[in-house]
């Protein structure tokens, strides 16, 4: 028996804003909210426990932009990397100045709160 990732928790200053951003990036929907302001998003029709992990955006008392302990890598499912890069920038992502060139197989970006993530070159199946 093996384990697999079921959810990823991201501490952030504005869970509402990041839930909206990551829902658009990944095609996720809101699955639930907690009294502490946390918002869980995941694949429509599947939710927690499905083949793809859910994301929990949790309000943190002192999040450090760009200093996630976890980096999210994403791959386009229905377009090439350049077209997906345009879409992500239109959603509010911005190029990140991480010291890497951002060329080659990955593009280093930042979400609306400055947390870095990478857009990888290869396409993957949506399910």
Taking the alpha carbons at both ends of the chain, their separation in whole angstroms is 22
Report the predicted TM-score, pTM, of the whole model to 2 decimal places: 0.74
Banded pLDDT at 1 (limits 50, 70, 90): very low
Q: What is the pLDDT of residue 10?
A: 87
Averaged over 50-74, what is the pLDDT? 74
Output the DSSP codes for 33-63. Answer: E-TTS-EEEE-TTT-TTSSS-EEEEEE-SS-
Asked whether residue 2 is assigned to any structural domain, the reply reads: no
CATH classification at residue 61: 3.10.180.10
Percentage of residues in the chain having pLDDT higher than 70:
80
Asked whether residue 1 is assigned to any structural domain, the reply reads: no
Q: Where are the alpha helices (DSSP H) in the chain?
A: 15-26, 81-91
Asked whether residue 127 is assigned to any structural domain, the reply reads: no
Domain range for residue 111? 7-120
Instruction: Give the tens place of pLDDT for each residue, 56-67.
Output: 998 876 656 655
Asked whether residue 125 is assigned to any structural domain, the reply reads: no
50 or 29: which carries more pLDDT confidence? 29
Q: Which 3 state secondary structure label does DSSP give 12?
A: strand
Asked whether residue 32 is assigned to any structural domain, the reply reads: yes
Q: What is the pLDDT of residue 127?
A: 57
Counting the structural domains of the chain, the total is: 1
């Amino acid at each position: 028996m093996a384990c697999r990732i079921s959810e990823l928790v991201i501490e952030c200053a504005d869970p509402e804003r990041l839930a909206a951003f990551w829902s658009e990036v990944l095609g996720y929907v809101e699955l639930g909210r907690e009294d502490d302001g946390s918002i869980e998003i995941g694949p429509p029709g599947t939710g927690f426990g499905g083949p793809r992990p859910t994301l929990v955006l949790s309000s943190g008392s002192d999040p450090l932009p760009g200093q996630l302990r976890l980096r999210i890598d994403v791959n386009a499912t229905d377009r090439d990397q350049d077209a997906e890069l345009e879409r992500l920038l239109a959603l509010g992502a911005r190029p990140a100045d991480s010291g890497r060139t951002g060329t080659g197989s990955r593009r280093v970006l930042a979400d609306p709160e400055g947390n870095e993530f990478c857009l990888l070159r290869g396409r993957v199946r949506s399910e």
